[in-house]
């Protein structure tokens, strides 16, 4: 049954929306025709509602004197615990919508939900430790200081479509637990799955702490930024959106940024790599959720000595991956949720082929609407769009190399610096190379594909890949500041 989402949350009130709504479609077909399925509609709000939500967050923060930022730590934790308990009762509804709205497989949708619940519990535990660590006395050179960690103010929180629950909450949960207040706008794809959680927000937190509005980014986030009343822009998505929003803030240099952005993580396959293991890891790394992960392996460098064997076996393995709808047993590949994505993938393929690359796998690039087969493209050169752009989809560029300096030079030149995977047998002999890689990116994965988890590890990037660090350990720090009261020890 279609869901017509009519409510939004502002100043502790679940308000009924009577204005324009935007239709929500799934690219998954409910018949064999590949036609999109109508899922329902969500409010298409504009500037007045955006500004009301912002005012509610500003009022709840109350220049740092509001109930929420001044609340005792254990009371804030209690609100968060209440929220997560209520959230858990919505598991089935949210998981179903994750499958329909973004096409994530059933096991991965369950994982997204459960991982988010764990993340909230772990963040609460970290917060208890953080509070103990930070609220302490220190004395240096006769000056006694009582150090604490406090909130930054009002946070605008914008999440991505590929993890519409998990990554949004990786921003929102630590932000509010630290005593900030927030306006949160769900991603356009994955908008309905927030609906079942609106009541939980309303019932668990004091009014104005979490405000949820729906609509297009430009209509909501733009006017909010222009007021200059946002202290933190928390966004996981594209740097073009982050830059545009940052520029709209009248005092952008004092805006705190917590950003997870693009990446072009390379996988480097050395001549002595264990090919069975490497092929499995590269399949998962390039094609989990059809490559729509910032942590996906987005370019492979394969040593000349093994390129023929690797390319042949890898291409065959890609063609054997089971394709279907998210709820189909054992399925690995699913339809892409962005309506225009197949067209974009085709453009990248045409560009690569026109510049001399071949599609190595038989099924590569074939599609019926948004059901698109991954394409393995080789030999890729640096003038091709698929080398330059973050494809965020099922197209795998491969380059070969004979000297390790080549991938290292490319990484040094790249605009991105999130992670790398290194495949080779004698990893101990590789220690100097590992050190070099660690100075180019933020996580070096040995004989394993790139990924964000376990969520306790720092999740960040160099250059255009991130600003600030997210993780159970770091996010609370990213959304707060250490202050202290000093007195002379007379
Ligand atoms: O899209 C970026 C996500 O942070 C990827 O997370 O590595 O757990 O899939 P993941």
Query: pLDDT tens for residues 279-324?
Result: 999 999 999 999 999 999 999 999 999 999 999 999 999 999 999 9
pLDDT of residue 32: 64
Site to substitute for ligand 1 among 187, 452, 471, most atoms within 8 A of C-beta: 452
Question: Does residue 184 register a pLDDT over 80?
Answer: yes
Q: Please state, as a whole number, how many other Cβ atoms lie within 10 Å of the Cβ of residue 454.
A: 11
The pTM (predicted TM-score) of the whole model is: 0.97
Least confident of 15-19, 365-369, 430-434: 365-369
Ligand 1 atom at minimum distance from 289 CA:
9
For residues 154-174, average pLDDT: 98
What is the mean pLDDT of the segment spanning 395-407? Answer: 98
C-beta 119 within 6 A of ligand 1: no
Beta bridge partners of residue 421, listed in sequence order: 267, 445
Distance (Å) from CA 88 to ligand 1 centroid: 22
Angle in degrees, CA 320, 346, 382, rounded to 5: 95
pLDDT at 33 over 70: no
How far is ligand 1, taken at its centre, from the CA of residue 299, in Å? 16
As a whole number of Å, the CA-based R_g of the chain is 24
Q: What DSSP assignment string belongs to 418-440?
A: SEEEEE-S-GGGGHHHHHHHHTT
pLDDT digits (tens, 9 = 90+) for 378-396: 999 999 999 999 999 999 9
298 lines ligand 1 (CB under 6 A): no
Contacts of 345 (CB under 8 A, 6+ apart): 365, 372, 375, 391, 393, 394, 395
Whether 86 shows a pLDDT value over 90: the answer reads yes
Q: Is the pLDDT of residue 490 over 70?
A: no
**What residue's CA is closest to ligand 1, atom 2?**
294
The number of the ligand 1 atom at minimal distance from the alpha carbon of 115 is: 8
Q: Is 363 in the pocket of ligand 1 (CB under 6 A)?
A: no
What does the mean pLDDT of the chain come to? 96
CB of 452 shorter than 6 A to ligand 1: yes
Task: Give the confidence band of 411 by pLDDT, cuts at 50, 70, 90.
Answer: very high
**69, 75, 79, 80: CA torsion to nearest 10:** 80
Mean per-residue pLDDT, 393-410? 98
Average pLDDT over residues 348-373: 95
115 lines ligand 1 (CB under 6 A): no
Cβ of 162 less than 6 Å from ligand 1: yes
Spatial distance between the Cα atoms of 419 and 452, rounded to a whole number of angstroms: 9
Per-residue burial over 429-440, b if 16 or more Cβ lie within 10 Å, else e, is ebeebeeebeeb
Signed CA dihedral, 82, 84, 88, 91: sign only: positive
**Ligand 1 center to 451 CA (angstroms):** 6
Return the half-sphere exposure (C-beta side, CA atoms, 13 A cut-off) of residue 291.
25
């Amino acid at each position: 049954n279609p869901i017509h989402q009519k409510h939004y949350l502002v100043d502790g009130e679940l308000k009924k929306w009577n204005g324009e709504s935007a239709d929500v479609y799934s690219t998954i077909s409910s018949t064999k025709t590949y036609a999109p399925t109508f899922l329902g509609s969500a409010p298409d709000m504009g500037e007045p509602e955006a500004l009301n939500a912002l005012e509610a967050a500003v009022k709840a923060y109350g220049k740092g004197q509001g109930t929420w930022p001044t609340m005792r730590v254990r009371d804030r934790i209690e609100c968060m615990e209440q929220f997560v308990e209520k959230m858990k009762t919505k598991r089935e509804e949210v998981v179903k919508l994750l499958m329909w709205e973004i096409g994530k497989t059933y096991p991965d949708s369950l994982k997204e939900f459960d991982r988010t619940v764990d993340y909230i519990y772990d963040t609460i535990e970290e917060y208890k430790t953080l509070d103990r660590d930070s609220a302490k006395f220190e004395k240096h050179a006769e000056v006694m200081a009582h150090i604490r960690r406090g909130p930054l103010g009002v946070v605008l929180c914008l999440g991505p479509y590929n993890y519409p629950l998990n990554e949004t909450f990786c921003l929102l949960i630590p932000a509010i637990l630290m005593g900030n207040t927030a306006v949160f706008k769900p991603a356009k794809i994955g908008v309905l799955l927030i609906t079942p959680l609106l009541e939980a927000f309303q019932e668990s937190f004091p009014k104005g702490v979490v405000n949820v509005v729906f609509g297009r980014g430009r209509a909501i986030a733009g006017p909010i930024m222009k007021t200059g009343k946002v202290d933190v822009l928390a966004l996981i998505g594209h740097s073009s959106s982050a830059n545009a929003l940052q520029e709209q803030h009248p005092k952008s240099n004092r805006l705190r940024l917590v950003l997870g952005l693009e990446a072009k993580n390379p996988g480097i396959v050395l001549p002595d790599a264990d090919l069975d293991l490497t092929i499995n890891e590269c399949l998962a790394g390039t094609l989990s959720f059809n490559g729509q992960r910032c942590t996906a392996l987005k370019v492979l460098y394969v040593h000349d000595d093994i390129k023929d064997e690797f390319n042949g076996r890898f291409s065959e393995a890609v063609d054997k991956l089971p394709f279907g709808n998210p709820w189909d047993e054992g399925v690995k590949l699913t339809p892409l949720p962005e309506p225009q994505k197949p067209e974009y993938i085709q453009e990248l393929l045409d560009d690569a082929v026109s510049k001399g690359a071949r599609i190595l796998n038989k099924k590569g690039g074939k599609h019926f609407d948004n059901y698109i087969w991954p394409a393995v493209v080789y030999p890729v050169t640096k003038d091709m769009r698929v080398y330059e752009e973050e494809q965020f989809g099922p197209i795998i560029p491969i380059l070969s190399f004979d000297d390790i300096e080549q991938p290292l030079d490319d990484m040094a030149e790249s605009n991105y610096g999130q992670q790398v995977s290194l495949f080779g047998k004698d990893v101990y002999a590789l220690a100097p190379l590992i050190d070099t890689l660690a100075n180019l990116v933020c996580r070096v994965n040995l004989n394993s594909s790139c990924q964000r988890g376990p969520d306790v590890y720092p999740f960040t990037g160099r250059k255009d890949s991130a600003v600030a660090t997210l993780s159970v350990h770091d996010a609370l720090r990213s959304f707060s500041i250490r202050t202290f009261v000093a007195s002379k020890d007379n």
